[in-house]
Amino acid sequence: MPKWEPTPEGERMKAERLVGGLWEPCEYSDIRKGDVFRVRDPEEGHLCDIHTAEPDEDSVGLATDDARRLDPNGSDGQWYGYGVPCTVYPSMDELKKGRN
């Protein structure tokens, strides 16, 4: 059976979480329940959709739980890295509407 390992540095999606109105760089493993975050492609550096990794300047995620190690023996089939359970919104405006 595969053993969990961290995602290799060159393949890691870079995350940014909203802290005090500013985007702060972080790793997926740092994201906690309630954090608003967005991701950057590790190679190109552009902002992208959290689920599809397609370029997207506007989408944001709201973490519904703390980041967790992906499960090599579970249904996700991923043997390395972290995942963040989240709800993805097309924009900050939509996230704000959804939280009210």
**E-assigned strands of the chain?**
14-19, 22-26, 36-40, 47-48, 60-63, 68-69, 82-83, 86-89
Q: Which residues contact 77 (CB under 8 A, 6 or more apart)?
A: none
Instruction: For residue range 60-90, list pLDDT tens digits in order.
Output: 999 999 998 887 666 556 667 888 999 999 9
pTM for the model: 0.84
Query: Can you tell me which residue has the tokens 């890295």?
Result: 81
Instruction: For residue range 14-58, list pLDDT tens digits in order.
Output: 899 999 999 999 998 999 999 999 999 888 889 999 888 899 999
